[in-house]
Amino acid sequence: MKVLYFIQTHKNPEQIYRLVKIIRRSSPESYILVSHDFTGCNLDTKLIKNLPGVEVLRLNGKGGRGDFSMIQGYLDAVEWLLSRNIKFDWLINLSGQDFPTQPLSRIEQFLARTRYDGFLDYFEAFSDRDRNPWTIEEGPNRYLYQYWRSGICVSSRSLIGKILNRLKSIVNNIQPFIRVYLCFDSLMIGWRAKNHPFNENFICYGGYYFNTLSRECVQFIYDFYRKNTQVVEYYKNTCVPVESFIQTVLINSKRFNLCNDSKRYFDYYKCQDGSPRTLTVQDYPTLIKNSIHFARKFELTRDTKILDKLEARIIEQNLIENN
């Protein structure tokens, strides 16, 4: 069985090197593909490509937040893999701020035995709050409107950001036609779509972007992307399509046995900027549970001890398992 680790990056090169090295050390036979947005920061590709079974794709401006660019980067990488006939049975999608929490050999053994075709978080985006972690308005506001992206960046914590958030609440609550959104600190204006692709046979799903998918799932997503241009173009103008497109495509196909668990740990509690809380060494006891395969996000500039402990755990348990 061959596992491919696909890492989408745009910042913190030292942390990227560290992630690639621990993957290569813990899983020597896997393939690692890094898709890096060089507009975010430079990356010395020689340090990575000197490792066996590692390749780097160069992106320029495709790593944006809140739009279709992350999904496009994923699809471009899949096209690159398929065009070169690179063999893999599973594709594990990570960010540069992810890190494994246990030996990859253990994760790969789990994948070799599983009856599932994929591991990802999902829920009906337009459902009531009992089954939906978003507010009842969030799903419709994101995916039933077509958005113009202003390119204006405003911190939601600034005075102007607070005024815009207040304006957003007023505008969005008094009428159903226009939506104002501060998405990852980028101002967006949306209008109610006259036609949308969602119905009882094509339900809109939401969920966390990063996942673990079998090759069959990955191939299906890519084929859908190539054949259903109207749906793709619609999604490109929604708000945060990255948290809906893959779930919606896979689940509505009814072809796959999908586990509603991405095997990731992240903490969005009390976060206001759309990013999960930065994890620290205090989170270590939670992260080493067997049910967790990867966690995010980590910042070397904030806390190196947590990565030191996770790395030491992985190396130590690799040695035990190999003896």
Burial label for 259, CB within 10 Å (0-12, 13-18, 19+), is middle
Report the sign of the C-alpha dihedral through residues 29, 112, 121, 246, in that order: positive
Long-range contacts (CB closer than 8 Å, 24 or more residues apart) made by 132-141: 132/206, 134/206, 137/172, 139/204, 139/206, 141/172, 141/179, 141/181, 141/190, 141/239
How far, in whole angstroms, is CA 48 from its chain's centroid?
Answer: 22
Encode pLDDT of 268-278 as tens digits: 876 666 688 99
Q: State the Cα–Cα distance between residues 308 and 111, nearest whole angstrom.
A: 26
Angle in degrees, CA 186, 189, 190, rounded to 5: 130
**Longest CA pairwise span in the chain (Å):** 66
Query: What is the CB-side half-sphere exposure of residue 304 using CA atoms within 13 A?
Result: 6
Query: What is the secondary structure of 36-99 as a DSSP string?
Result: EETTT----HHHHHTSTTEEEEEESS---SSSSHHHHHHHHHHHHHHHTT---SEEEEEETT-E
Report the sign of the C-alpha dihedral through residues 154, 156, 162, 165, in that order: positive
Residue 136's alpha-carbon distances to 5, 126, 133, 142, 240, in angstroms, are 35, 7, 9, 11, 16
- Alpha-carbon Rg for the chain, nearest whole angstrom, is 20
Encode pLDDT of 276-314 as tens digits: 899 999 999 999 999 999 999 999 999 999 999 999 999
Query: What is the secondary structure of 70-81 as a DSSP string?
Result: HHHHHHHHHHHH
> Which domains can be identified in the chain, with CATH numbers?
3-124+201-322 (3.90.550), 145-192 (no CATH)
pLDDT computed for residue 173 by the predictor = 87
pLDDT computed for residue 186 by the predictor = 81
Helix (H, G, I), strand (E, B) or coil at 180: strand
How far, in whole angstroms, is CA 212 from its chain's centroid?
Answer: 10
Q: How many residues does the chain have?
A: 323
**Mean pLDDT value across the chain:** 92
Q: Which of 6-20, 215-229, 308-322 has the lowest mean pLDDT?
A: 308-322
Return the percentage of the chain with pLDDT > 90, whole number: 72
62, pLDDT greater than 60: no
64, pLDDT greater than 70: no
Q: State the Cα–Cα distance between residues 111 and 156, nearest whole angstrom.
A: 41
Helix (H, G, I), strand (E, B) or coil at 191: strand
